[in-house]
Amino acid sequence: MHQRRRIVLLFGLGIVLPSLLLSYLAFRGIQNDRALVEKDRLEGIRRAADNVALAVDAGIAAVEQALSDAVAGRSGSLAADLRPALEKLVAENPLIEQLFEVRPSQELRFPIANFLYVGDGAREADNSPIAGTNQPAEFLAAQMLEFRDNDLTGALAAYRRLQGRTRDTRLSAMILNAVARVQKKSGLAHEAASTYEMILRDHGPAVIPGGMPLGPSAALEICGLTRELGDFPRSLRTALSLYHSLVRREWDVEKAEFELFAGRVKDHIKALFSDPPSGIDLQAFRTEFDALAVEEDISRKRTERMIVFQEGAVPALEAKTRVADREAPGQPFVRSTLEIGDVSYLVTIERPSPAGLDPMDGVWGVILDAGRLQADVLRPALLDLFASGEATWAVIGKDNAVLMSSGDPFAGPAALRTDFASNFPGWTLEFHQTPPRLIKTFLLSRRGLYFFIFLLIAGILVFGLILTIRSVSHELELARMKSDFVSTVSHEFRSPLTSIRQLAEMLQSGRVPSEERRQRYYDVLLEQSERLALLTDNILGLAKIEAGRAAFAFDRIDISALLSEVVTAIQDRVRHEGFAIGLEAEAALPPLAADLTAMAQALTNLIDNAVKYSGDSRKVSVRAFLDGEDIAIAVRDFGIGIKKEDVPRLFERFFRGGDELTRTVKGSGLGLTLVKEIVEAHQGKIHVESEPGKGSVFTIRLPLPPREEP
Query: Site residues (CB under 6 A) for ligand ADP?
Result: 609-610, 613, 637, 639-642, 650, 655-658, 667-673, 696
3-state DSSP assignment of residue 350: strand
How many whole angstroms separate alpha carbon 417 and alpha carbon 419?
7
Nearer Cβ to ligand ADP (52/534): 534
Nearer Cβ to ligand ADP (581/642): 642
Per DSSP, helices labelled H in 133-168 are 134-143, 152-165
How many whole angstroms separate alpha carbon 53 and alpha carbon 497?
107
Which amino acid is it at 325?
D
Nearer Cβ to ligand ADP (491/556): 491
How many CB atoms neighbour CB 488 within 10 A?
18
Nearer Cβ to ligand ADP (198/647): 647
How many whole angstroms separate alpha carbon 597 and alpha carbon 553?
9
Nearer Cβ to ligand ADP (239/650): 650
Nearer Cβ to ligand ADP (612/682): 612
**Nearest-CB residue to ligand ADP?**
667
User: Cα-atom radius of gyration of the chain, to the nearest Å?
Assistant: 62
* Cis before 84? omega within 30: no
How many whole angstroms separate alpha carbon 5 and alpha carbon 480?
16
> Least CB distance from residue 534 to ligand ADP, whole Å?
10
> Least CB distance from residue 613 to ligand ADP, whole Å?
3
> Least CB distance from residue 605 to ligand ADP, whole Å?
6
How many whole angstroms separate alpha carbon 85 and alpha carbon 324?
28
> Least CB distance from residue 557 to ligand ADP, whole Å?
23
> Least CB distance from residue 581 to ligand ADP, whole Å?
13
> Least CB distance from residue 611 to ligand ADP, whole Å?
8
Q: Which long-range contacts (CB under 8 A, 24 or more apart) does 319-323 make?
A: 321/349, 321/351, 321/352
> Least CB distance from residue 654 to ligand ADP, whole Å?
8
Nearer Cβ to ligand ADP (406/696): 696
Nearer Cβ to ligand ADP (362/669): 669
> Least CB distance from residue 616 to ligand ADP, whole Å?
13
Give the E-state strand segments of 561-694 in sequence order. Answer: 580-585, 592-594, 619-627, 630-637, 685-691
CB burial of residue 491 (10 Å; 0-12, 13-18, 19+): exposed
CB 110 within 8 A of CB 116: no
> Least CB distance from residue 519 to ligand ADP, whole Å?
29
CB 295 within 8 A of CB 247: yes
How many whole angstroms separate alpha carbon 526 and alpha carbon 520?
10
> Least CB distance from residue 3 to ligand ADP, whole Å?
25
Tell how many helices (H) and how many strands (E) occur in the chain: 19, 16
How many CB atoms neighbour CB 694 within 10 A?
12
Per DSSP, helices labelled H in 510-558 are 515-547
Which amino acid is it at 709?
E
3-state DSSP assignment of residue 77: coil
Nearer Cβ to ligand ADP (217/696): 696
How many whole angstroms separate alpha carbon 436 and alpha carbon 543?
66
> Least CB distance from residue 656 to ligand ADP, whole Å?
4
> Least CB distance from residue 470 to ligand ADP, whole Å?
24
Per DSSP, helices labelled H in 105-188 are 134-143, 152-165, 169-185
Nearer Cβ to ligand ADP (392/696): 696
Nearer Cβ to ligand ADP (432/701): 701
Nearer Cβ to ligand ADP (46/653): 653
How many whole angstroms separate alpha carbon 622 and alpha carbon 522?
27
Residue 100 dihedral angles phi and psi, to the nearest 5°:
-145, 165
